[in-house]
Amino acid sequence: MSITKPKDTVMTLRVPQDLKERYERIAQIDSRSASHFARQALEEKIEEFERLMTAKEELEGFFAGSVEAKSLDHVMKELDLD
């Protein structure tokens, strides 16, 4: 059974020249493609935004009364971090 990797797609975007030069310089230093760094930065920023949106939804749910508050001790125990 072979596992297929999802196909990448091409995305075109405009960036300031200095930003392009900075990420190309980093790519040269690290011996990776400039595309690698652009993809990594985009992925990290999207994940950060998604975490913020989840937190915002949870907070709105808390204020609306649909999400129950839990103590830090309770959460630590749930995660086996006590």
Distance CA 66, CA 63 (A): 8
- Asked if residue 51 has pLDDT above 90, the reply is yes
Please state, in angstroms and as integers, the Cα–Cα distance from residue 39 to each residue in 29, 32, 61, 75, following that order.
17, 12, 33, 34
The predicted model scores a pTM of: 0.67
Distance CA 12, CA 28 (A): 21
Q: Minimum mean pLDDT among 1-10, 11-20, 44-53, 62-71: which range?
A: 1-10
User: Where do the domains of the chain lie?
Assistant: 17-78
Please state, in angstroms and as integers, the Cα–Cα distance from residue 23 to each residue in 3, 12, 32, 37, 39, following that order.
32, 16, 10, 7, 11
